[in-house]
Amino acid sequence: MDPDFINDPYPFYDRVRVDGPLFHWQDYNLVCATSYDAVDTLLRDRRFGREQPDEFKTPPPVHLRPFFAFEHHSMLEREPPTHTRLRGLVVRAFTSRRIKALGPEIHALCHQLIDQFSAHPFDLLPAFA
């Protein structure tokens, strides 16, 4: 995967949105939605899912195999009941009490990152992310 895309995917997204809310991403050999409305519509339509049926699976291109190997284990790539089971485990780990307990650490990290900001104009997303 292109490191420039990983570091800042927005120029790529801007280019593909020019032709409309859907485009064929040749590297992945799939159609991608590029607008909020298109994504919202597709996610609400039960005819579409995350997992690719076995009969449609093809090996990913060599340069994308590390990405696919990582994504293969992502909860976001799973359909129920696997997603539901994994989500249940995650939800138990992130109770409101646990999130509140993380508050001081998150607050300190935010201040640490902000303190490193340039005194000159800069791009907030890469500086803070």
Q: Is residue 77 part of a domain?
A: no
- Alpha helix locations (H) across 1-129? 3-7, 10-17, 36-44, 65-71, 82-93, 96-115, 124-128
Q: Residue 80: inside a domain, yes or no?
A: no
User: For residues 39 and 21, what is the distance between their CA atoms, to the nearest angstrom?
Assistant: 9
Q: What's the pLDDT tens digit per position in 9-21?
A: 899 989 999 999 9
pLDDT category at 23 given cuts 50, 70, 90 is very high
Does 33 reside within a domain? yes
User: Does pLDDT of 118 surpass 90?
Assistant: no
Confirm whether 70 is domain-assigned. no
Q: Which pLDDT does position 34 carry in this prediction?
A: 92
At 40 the pLDDT is: 93
Q: What is the pLDDT of residue 1?
A: 63
Predicted structure pTM score: 0.45
pLDDT tens digits, one per residue of 63-116: 888 888 888 888 888 888 988 999 999 998 889 999 999 999 999 999 999 999
Q: How far apart are CA 19 and CA 27, in angstroms?
A: 18
35 touches 101 (CB < 8 A): no
Does the residue 81 lie in any domain?
no
Residue 119 in any domain: the answer is yes
Residue 41: pLDDT over 90:
yes
Q: Which residue has the higher pLDDT, 48 or 15?
A: 15
Domain that holds residue 107: 97-129
- Which among 2, 23, 3 is positioned nearest to 14, based on CA atoms? 23
Q: Is residue 78 part of a domain?
A: no
Q: Does 15 fall in a domain? A: yes
Indicate the number of domains in the chain. 2
pLDDT score for 22? 95
- Tallying the residues shown for the chain, one arrives at 129
* 106 C-beta neighbours (distance < 10 Å), count: 10
Cα end-to-end span (Å), the chain: 20
CB–CB of 94/106 below 8 Å? no
